[in-house]
Structure 1
Amino acid sequence: MGHTAGVAVMAWIAGASLVAWGWLLAGQGFFWRTDVRLPPGTAHEPPDGRTGPVQGRPEPSAEWPSVAVVVPARDEVDVLPVSLPSVLAQAYPGPVEVFLVDDGSTDGTGELARALAAERGGLPLTVTSPGEPAPGWTGKLWAVRHGMALARERTDAEYVLLTDADIAHGPDSLRALVSAARAADLDLVSQMARLRVADFWERLIVPAFVYFFGQLYPFRWVNRPGARTAAAAGGCVLLRRDAAERAGIPERIRHAVIDDVTLARAVQRSGGRRGPGSGRIWLGLADHVDSVRPYPRLADLWRMVARSAYAQLLHSPLLLVGTVLGLALVYLAPPVALVAGLVGGSVPVAALGALAWAVMTGTYLPMLRYYRQPPWTAPLLPFTALLYLLMTVDSAVQHYRGRGAAWKGRTYGAPPSGAGAGAPEEASEGA
């Protein structure tokens, strides 16, 4: 009797998992597809449609809007020699100035940036430091505030590119971003940089990181006019200056640990010339924007995820429990059901588990192709999901121990009520 009841329970769980995967496959904004990219050719055409040169650094042209590039940097000497020269070498036909904001580095980041600019040349670079963050500010947003303020003093840039210090750009990256923004009248254009996948743990965990992000914030939902879903990828965000001012960026989001999603939501809701709540944003995968930061050990990736996972859940125990149960049902139940069905001699349970696992595996294949990883690793997604589940729980544990959201020597607690920290409920459109 007990065995029969156990088989029935497992059958119900496996069936629920399969139904969940049916919904995710067709009803969650086709999150698993990787074809949301900047339109082909945007790097080669100026805003008025006339063809311009691609190679080399062209003379500034009034046909192209001016841009200020703000690079917040804290202890980045290991990655700056690869990333900063790529920013300074942008083949953009309009006026551009780069502002690297040294956020209290102790490793000579600012000095290295100046030396690289002197050695490599390219776009004009200003290196500055705002000192320690004021109370209520995260370090990155304090640096962004200082960089944007300095850019307003020095330039009348129409756009601001916020790019992290570990991001390397292809030579036409800025041109493509501006072209896309102008062509579609967008207030914000963001590309999810291609993260490094050179070591074993990076290959196992990094593609899943982007896959899970897309599941939570389907890019197609983000990009629809009038959508309620908002997200951006903080490593590469082109922001229209007047949209930033309407949205109160960065002051309004100064508490945010998950600053990219919070920024996108603020811009989306700010509206402006199209009316309240009509801010236009776009998010997609990048082809020529890459993160060069290495995460060779599991501990490195664990810290990257755990530092903000509980903030993503609004520091809510109820959301934490729901997330753990949801991950277990969607990702862990299928292989458990398959094994249990085979061991217990229940063909229906094994079949339901196998089918759910097969759907899961199929949805993961496009992301593996994007990251140029072998398809045989796709069935390992349940194991990777288990690691993410444990990272999320650890994030909550560290929060309640007073060590949550720790990064490069700073620790941030939960923001005051009403302050932004990222909101998973933004991804509930259509649910």
Structure 2
Amino acid sequence: MTYTAPPALLALSALTLSACVPSIVVGDSPQDETTDSTTPGSTTAPDLPTGDPTDGGTASDGLTDGTGGEPAPGVCGDGIADPGEACDDGNDEPHDGCDAACTRTGAIVWTVERPGDLVGFAVAADGTSYASGYDPESFLAAFAPDGGELWKIGAQGAGPLAVDAGGRIYVQSQFDGVLAFAPDASALWHVVPDGEPFPLGIDAGSDGLYIANYETGAQERAVVRRLDLATGQLVWEALTPEGEDVEAHDLAVVGDRIFVLGLATSDDEGLRPVLAAFDTAGALLEFELDDPVDSRRWHALDGLGDGDLVFAGQTKDLQPVVRRLHSDQSEAWFSPVVGIHLMRPERVIAGPGERIALVGSDDGHEGLGAVSLHDGDGALLWSSKFDDPQDGVNEQPVGVGFGPGLLVAGGSIWTVQANNNITTTWWIRGFALD
């Protein structure tokens, strides 16, 4: 999976970043610059109502409510999961797996924060997280599954990331081509393919590294390239069809196919979603995407199950949605993301047990970012969001990935100060899967 940086992010990357961390708490007990990982502090349960001793009992003791023998309704916060409550842990802490409305949320087990701006994020199979960004110089950093920093190096460029099965890290730089690093941070190779430098997608397959950029001088056709994993040497390149103006959003390797998801406009057709499919030799197999739903656009793509595809996007009324297609592109299901509105999904990724995670930011401009976890049928298992948006503060999730028993997301917070200067903080959060 990859991250296509929005124009606002590219503009912010050019700013001189302040070393001041904004006073926004993302999750529990965020780290300072000198601490590698943080265990959330305990939360004292508030004093909760227990009922008037004269009314016959508490809401959770099974007694009647005095109106005809019916059981009294459950009370959220009494520590008992009554009918209609997804959970009840007896407190109102929103980031411990159960919030003040007795709705399941993501349980944050650690949080890392640093001054700077995150551009790329990926998680390896062993749970190691990798972050690429600016602070203000470009960097690449690695974090252990418990949030502890393993290493951080200066990199020639920052951009979307991919990690292969051997743990090698690949950076599709915004300005400097593609860079490869070993798991111990040593540099392996650096190549600068032809074409517009703005990255459209990167993913590592078992047989090669696949990237997408725009064709040189046109920015109308997307060019997909296969690079040798060990050397970065170009193996082949292929283009989307001539005459189609393509706005590419994501690239994913799924089985023996390479997919580019986006929008296309041609002289005889209006704007429409498209899914370009290439084989491992570079032949274009398909381009059209059957999309009967009333969607605004699809932003993110990943592989799921036996060659199935999962998409994340929005309907025209800005409701986030996820969709699953079988390998023959027949429909499996289409599901709205309940409980979250106005979210523009940035990344979607499939994990163990066919679970699906997506992250996105608020199209309502209230500073909201969210991460959600779904089962293989699209049902929401839990969601976690920036629960106290403030004027002048915006959260931009960049990526998400699965590790052993863990879901890890990363992104940035942009804060507009009183003097209109902008400070940025990048963050990584580790969530318990269950």
Tell me if TM exceeds 0.5.
no
Kindly indicate which of the two structures has a greater share of residues assigned to helix.
1
Write 1 or 2 for the structure with the bigger share of strand: 2
Q: Shorter-chain TM-score: what band?
A: under 0.3
TM-score calculated relative to the size of structure 1:
0.25
